[in-house]
Amino acid sequence: MAPTFPLLQLPENVIVQVLQNIVPDRLLIFSLVSTKTKSLVTSLGLRARNVNIYISYEISITVNVGRYGWNLIFDNDPNDQNAEFDITLPISASTLSLRIAFQPLTSFNFSNCLDHILTVFCYTKPLDVDFGQGSERFEMESLKTILKNVNCLTIPERVTHIQSKQILKSFKDLNELTLESNPFEDTCEVRKFFIQNFEKIEFRDVYSLDDMLLVNSEKVRFTHPTTHKQFNRFVKHWIRGSNPRLQRMSLSIVDSNSVSREVLLKGIQCVDVTEEEHQEICHNHEIVSDYMVQIRRKDGTPAVIATKDYENILYISFFVSY
């Protein structure tokens, strides 16, 4: 039998000193013992940097506190990985960092456990939620009730179109949306998301010039390649006043050998960015660029176009300065 130590019999200030030397994932398990241990861990004032929830055949939570991060995987029956997961029933959890499964002493369901984690690690911001294949086993409205406010929503290509549409219908008021494929047959439907006032949108399917011009987010990433003609026409529309909220757009063009600077910027008035400004922009935005030019909107608003040629793909970053 492993030796034990009567930690909870020590004065509270001594207990706190001991807990301050314990890593956060173990503190979480300790906090589940009783109301007192939860209060003690909460009193440490540890604040999670972010909490990400991944929903597929199971639900996992990734928590980052300071330089520590760990993942919790939830299920109802730790002895049967194929058992159906009911979020309303008591759960057990396993953590990859400790390579153990643990069961709260009290009867926690997923909602209880999530609230416990957010309380103990002082996390009040909206959540980041990723969906995966298998998430259709969960009822969306029940998940929405449990997760409450969602900040960032990611729907990968492997999620069915039916499920993707259900997720988008259930989770609204987002700040960021990543949509890997267009689940709608009618192009007008996906454009309802382009025109929303997101802080950031990432779209990985085919898009048109009209789609680019409808985007109303501050930051935009298109990962499916476009053409130099489509980008050139977009820039000319921006100069005339389109996309007034845009701060940054990232996209790419294949076959970069056929896209010279003159071809890309044909008919667009621009000036070279100085070497000092070039280095500063690369540093501030964490990019690498072969060349960089500045353009101006008709109202005088400046923007920078930065390009990087890598393995016959031209990566373009478009920055607007307000």
Q: Is residue 135 part of a domain?
A: yes
- Tell me what pLDDT residue 71 has: 86
Residue 1 lies in a domain: no
Structural domain contains residue 117: yes
Residues of the chain whose pLDDT is less than 50? none
Task: State whether 236 and 305 are in the same domain.
Answer: no
- Regarding whether 61 and 143 lie in a shared domain, the answer is yes
Q: Tell me: do 64 and 175 sit in the same domain.
A: yes
**One domain for residues 75 and 174:** yes
Query: Does residue 2 fall inside a structural domain?
Result: no
Please list, residue by residue across 133-143, b when 16 or more beta carbons sit within 10 angstroms of its beta carbon and e when fewer do: eebbebebeeb
Q: Residue 80's pLDDT is what?
A: 57
CA angle 214, 179, 115 (to 5 degrees): 120
Q: Are 88 and 133 part of one and the same domain? A: yes
Question: What is the token pair recorded at 282?
Answer: 């690369």
3-state SS assignment for residue 129: strand
Q: Quick one: 102 and 236 in the same domain?
A: yes
Question: What global pTM score does this model have?
Answer: 0.87
Q: Do 168 and 278 fall into the same domain?
A: no
Q: Is 317 helix (H, G, I), strand (E, B) or coil?
A: strand
Range of the domain at 162: 7-249
In a domain, 71, yes or no: yes
Of 54, 113, 56, which Cα lies nearest the Cα of 81? 56
Count how many domains the chain has. Answer: 2
- 147: closest CA among 115, 185, 177, 179? 115
Looking at 249, 272, 304, the residue that finishes a domain is 249
Same structural domain, 142 and 22:
yes
pLDDT at residue 274 in the model: 94
* pLDDT at 161 (0 to 100): 95
203 plus 262 within the same structural domain: no
Cα–Cα distance list, 311 to 221, 254, 256, 257, 288 (Å): 20, 9, 8, 10, 14
261-309 pLDDT, tens digit each? 999 999 999 999 999 999 999 999 999 999 999 999 999 999 999 999 9
pLDDT at 3: 66
Single residue among 194, 221, 249 that ends a domain in this structure: 249
Q: Which of 249, 267, 288 is the last residue of a domain?
A: 249
Q: Which of 171, 210, 168, 204 is nearest to 187 (CA)?
A: 210
* Whether residues 225 and 141 fall in one domain: yes
Same domain, yes or no: 207 and 315: no
Tell me, yes or no, whether 162 and 115 share the same domain.
yes
Here the tokens at position 92 are 């057990």
Quote the pLDDT of residue 101.
59
> In this predicted structure, what is the pLDDT of residue 265?
95
Residue 287 lies in a domain: yes
* Cα–Cα distance, 50 to 66 (Å, whole number): 10
